[in-house]
């Protein structure tokens, strides 16, 4: 799964040194051969809101093509940076969608080759993906109130491996270069 994601990322960002990409793939191969598992989450969640934290439920709103408001309660991943979560009044979250609800190739999805979807391997969330295209903003005051009153719970915090996978997917989804045709149209 990870070697394919590295190749995918390298194809999107040609400036990545092929030697470094190959070294990372070799390290991952050795890790897997030695029985290693990708641990994307810490054994305990942090006492503060940190980027990548997963909450058990938030109400997400989507507006349909016809203008109807569709509301769903879903697990949520904090997109806002940790220092922004501490200092800003608004926090950004993306929902976790059950894999069973998606009509996509699950093998491709689990290799993290679909731009907008983030899959965390080998954990209790391996039946979910984070949909980075359905971002919603929430008042930090509301989130803290819901947490303090135990209306919502923090379920997990990202490990260093999970955090870097998360950052890589954010970069791939939001910062990948546009196709050359569009880039040429932007030239002044």
Q: Domain holding 44: CATH number? A: 2.30.30.110
Round to whole Å and give the CA distance between 166 and 146: 25
Q: Which domain holds residue 103?
A: 37-177
Q: Looking at the domain assignment, is residue 154 inside a domain?
A: yes
Q: Looking at the domain assignment, is residue 97 inside a domain?
A: yes
Q: Looking at the domain assignment, is residue 116 inside a domain?
A: yes
Residue 127 contacts residue 94 (beta carbons within 8 Å): no
What mean pLDDT do residues 105-113 have? 87
Q: Looking at the domain assignment, is residue 66 inside a domain?
A: yes
Q: What is the pLDDT of residues 165-181, one digit of tens each?
A: 888 888 888 877 777 78
Round to whole Å and give the CA distance between 82 and 67: 34
Q: Looking at the domain assignment, is residue 167 inside a domain?
A: yes
pTM recorded for the entire structure: 0.81
Q: Looking at the domain assignment, is residue 73 inside a domain?
A: yes
Q: What is the pLDDT of residues 110-161, one digit of tens each?
A: 888 888 999 998 778 989 999 999 999 999 999 999 999 999 999 999 988 8
Residue 96: pLDDT band (50, 70, 90) is very high
Q: Is 116 exposed, middle or buried (0-12, 13-18, 19+ CB in 10 A)?
A: middle
pLDDT at 2: 63
Q: Looking at the domain assignment, is residue 159 inside a domain?
A: yes
Q: What's the domain count of the chain?
A: 1
């Amino acid at each position: 799964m990870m070697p394919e994601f590295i190749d995918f990322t390298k194809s999107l960002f040609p400036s990545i040194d092929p030697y470094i990409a190959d070294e990372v793939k070799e390290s991952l191969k050795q890790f897997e051969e030695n029985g290693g598992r990708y641990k994307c989450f810490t054994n305990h969640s942090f006492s503060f809101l940190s980027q990548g934290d997963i909450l058990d439920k938030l109400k997400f709103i989507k507006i349909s093509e016809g203008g109807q408001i569709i509301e769903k309660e879903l697990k949520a991943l904090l997109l806002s940076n940790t220092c922004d979560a501490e200092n800003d009044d608004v926090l950004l979250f993306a929902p976790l969608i059950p894999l069973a609800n998606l009509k996509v190739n699950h093998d491709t999805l689990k290799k993290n080759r679909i731009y907008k979807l983030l899959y965390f391997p080998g954990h209790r969330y391996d039946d979910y993906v984070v949909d980075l295209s359905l971002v919603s903003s929430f008042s930090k005051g509301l989130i803290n109130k819901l947490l303090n009153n135990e209306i919502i719970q923090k379920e997990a915090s990202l490990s260093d491996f999970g955090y870097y996978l998360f950052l890589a997917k954010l970069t791939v989804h939001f910062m990948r270069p546009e196709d050359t045709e569009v880039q040429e149209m932007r030239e002044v």
